[in-house]
A and B are shown apart, each in its own frame.
Chain A
Amino acid sequence: MSNYYESKDLEKFGAIGKHAKPLADEFFKYYGMVTGQDGALTKREKALIALAISHSEKCPYCIDAYTTACLEAGANPEQMMEAVHVAAVMKAGITLVHGVQMQNHLQKMVL
Chain B
Amino acid sequence: MNTTTTKYDFEALLHARGVQLPPSSIDTLQINITKLCNQACRHCHVDSSPARTEKMSREGVEKCLEILAAHAGIKNIDVTGGAPELHPDFDYLVERATALGKHVMVRHNLTVQLDPHPQTGESKEYLPEFFARHRCEVISSLPYYQEYFTDAQRGDGVFQKSIEAMRRLNAVGYGIEGSGLIFNLVYNPVGPYLPAAQATLEADYKRELQQKFGLTFNGLFTITNMPINRFKLHLMKSEQYESYMEKLLAAFNPAAAAGVMCRNIISVDHDGYIYDCDFNQMLGMHIDDAGRPASIFDFDFDRLLRRRIRFDSHCLGCTAGAGSSCGGATS
Closest B residue to A77 by CB, please name it. B148
B65: min CB distance to chain A, Å = 41
Chain B CB within 8 A of A44 CB: yes
Given A74-B201, A76-B146, A77-B148: A44 in contact with B196 (beta carbons within 8 A): yes
Task: Decide if B200 touches A44 in the complex (CB within 8 Å).
Answer: yes
A72 touching B148 by the CB < 8 A rule?
Answer: no
Q: Which of A25-78 contact B (CB under 8 A)?
A: 42, 44, 68, 71-74, 76-78
CA distance A42 to B199 in the complex (A): 13
- Contact at B200–A71, with CB atoms within 8 Å? no
> With a CB–CB cut-off of 8 A, which chain A residues contact B196?
44, 71-74
B132 to chain A: closest CB distance in Å?
Answer: 31
Residues in B neighbouring A44, C-beta threshold 8 A: 196, 200
Residues of the B chain whose Cβ atoms lie less than 8 Å from the Cβ of A73: 196, 200
Question: B193 touching A68 by the CB < 8 A rule?
Answer: yes
B118 interface residue per 8 A CB criterion: no
Docked-complex contact B195 and A72, CB < 8 angstroms:
yes
A contacts with B, residue count (CB < 8 A):
10
Cα–Cα distance between A74 and B194 once the two chains are bound (Å): 10
**Complex Cα gap A52–B197 (Å):** 22
Over the window 68-103 of chain A, the binary record of Cβ atoms lying under 8 Å from chain B Cβ atoms (1 yes, 0 no) is 100111101110000000000000000000000000
Q: Tell me if A74 and B193 are in contact (CB < 8 A).
A: no
- Cβ contact of B194, chosen from A72, A77, A78, cutoff 8 A: A72
Least Cβ–Cβ distance between A21 and chain B, in angstroms: 20
Q: Which residue of A lies closest to B187 (CB)?
A: A74
Q: How far is the CA of A72 from the CA of B201 in the complex (A)?
A: 10
Measured between alpha carbons, how far is A73 from B149 in the docked complex, in Å?
Answer: 15
Q: How far is the CA of A72 from the CA of B188 in the complex (A)?
A: 11
Asked if B148 contacts A74 (CB within 8 A), the reply is no
Q: Report Cα–Cα, A73/B194, bound state, in Å.
A: 9
- Within 8 Å of chain A (Cβ to Cβ): is B204? yes
- Chain B contacts for A76, CB-based, 8 A: 144, 146, 149
Interchain nearest-CB distance for A63 vs B (Å): 15
| CB closest chain-A residue, reference B191 | A71
Residues of B within 8 A of A72 (CB): 189, 193-196
Nearest neighbor of B148 in chain A, beta-carbon distance:
A77
Q: CA–CA, A77 to B204, complex, Å?
A: 14
Q: Which of chain A's residues have a CB closer than 8 A to the CB of B146?
A: 76-78
B136-152 vs A: 1/0 string, CB under 8 Å?
A: 00000000101011000
In contact, B189 and A74 (Cβ under 8 angstroms):
no
Quote the shortest CB–CB distance from B209 to chain A (angstroms). 13
Contact call B197/A71, Cβ cutoff below 8 A: no
Query: Quick one: given A44-B196, A44-B200, are A71 and B144 in contact (CB under 8 Å)?
Result: no
Closest beta carbon of chain B to A54's beta carbon, Å: 16
A76 to B197, CA, bound (A): 14
Q: Shortest beta-carbon distance, A22 to chain B, in Å?
A: 23
The CA of A72 and the CA of B189, in the complex, are separated in Å by 8
Q: Which residues of B contact A71 (CB under 8 A)?
A: 189, 191, 193, 196
Chain A interfacial positions (CB closer than 8 Å to B): 42, 44, 68, 71-74, 76-78
Q: Shortest 3 CB-CB distances between A and B: which pairs? A: A74-B196, A74-B201, A71-B193
**Sampled A-B contacts (9; CB under 8 Å):** A42-B200, A44-B200, A71-B191, A72-B193, A72-B195, A72-B196, A73-B200, A74-B200, A78-B146
Taking A44-B200, A71-B193, A74-B200 as given, write out 15 further A-B residue pairs in contact, using a Cβ cutoff of 8 Å, ordered by the A residue number.
A42-B200, A44-B196, A68-B193, A71-B191, A71-B196, A72-B193, A72-B195, A72-B196, A73-B196, A74-B196, A74-B201, A74-B204, A76-B146, A77-B149, A78-B146
